Amino acid sequence: MRALTLARRELASTFDLPIATLVVAAFLALSGTYVFVLQPFFLVGRATVRPLFEFAPFLFTLFAPAITMRALAEERRSGTLEVLLAWPLSDWEVALGKFLAALGLLAVGVLLTLPYPITIAQLGDLDWGPVIGGYVGLLLLGGAYLALGLLVSACTSNQIVAFIGGFLLCFAVYLIGRTAGAAPPWLVPVVEGLSFERHFAQIARGVLDVRDVVFFLSVMLVGVGLTAEILGARRWR
């Protein structure tokens, strides 16, 4: 599949840049600090990775735009986007390839947190069911945020603008689930249905509901699809 070929090329080139290492290192530092320092980890009296999964929805509002900010914005700024669009790739394949490359980098960051539960398991009886569900949820949640960040990156040629715009969009989505208490009763089901955090929390409890998985996959599909539409509009401009 040509999108996978593009994704592999993009991911390999990303690891040649210091920004990739910095972003992953910042993610690990912030998540590790929250889990082991800012939380009363040694006073709780039980082995749990729940703080990581509680912090991740907010952390991804920063981490995802940091990954996607240069995906298409830098291509537009440097003029290489026209070269890329001249390749025998459809707009959908370009958008999907960029998305998969970003998802690969996010997956690296997420998987590098595995020493957290492994360490905690040495200190107590850790229930691995929610842990596995939480990591599946992290990849789905992160993928949804990446799709939004990629969409913003396709709309500008400035990486800083792409990061700020991506963060604002992701943060707005993050806040949706937290407004349920203030919403009118008739609107609560809608707000809860659109809440990234609520769908993620279900999975992080070890309950893998098809509806939650479909929700995140749908967000990814819409985000990548709209990105492809923007690329198509630029191709024919």
3-state secondary structure 95-115: HHHHHHHHHHHHHHHHHCCCH
Q: Give the distance between the most distant pair of CA atoms in the chain.
A: 62
What is the model's pLDDT at position 42? 57
Asked if residues 229 and 96 have their Cβ atoms less than 8 Å apart, the reply is: no
The Cα 166–Cα 227 span in angstroms is 13
Helix (H, G, I), strand (E, B) or coil at 29: helix
- Torsion of the alpha carbons at 128, 134, 140 and 146, rounded to the nearest 10: -130
What is the model's pLDDT at position 121? 83
The Cα 5–Cα 93 span in angstroms is 10
What is the model's pLDDT at position 191? 73
Which residues of the chain register pLDDT less than 50?
none
Task: List the alpha helices (DSSP H) in the chain.
Answer: 2-14, 18-33, 41-44, 50-68, 73-78, 80-85, 91-111, 115-123, 128-153, 159-176, 188-194, 196-204, 210-235
Radius of gyration for the chain, computed over Cα atoms and rounded to the nearest angstrom: 19
Which residues fall within 8 angstroms of residue 235, CB to CB, at 6 or more apart? Answer: 85, 91
Asked if residues 76 and 159 have their Cβ atoms less than 8 Å apart, the reply is: no
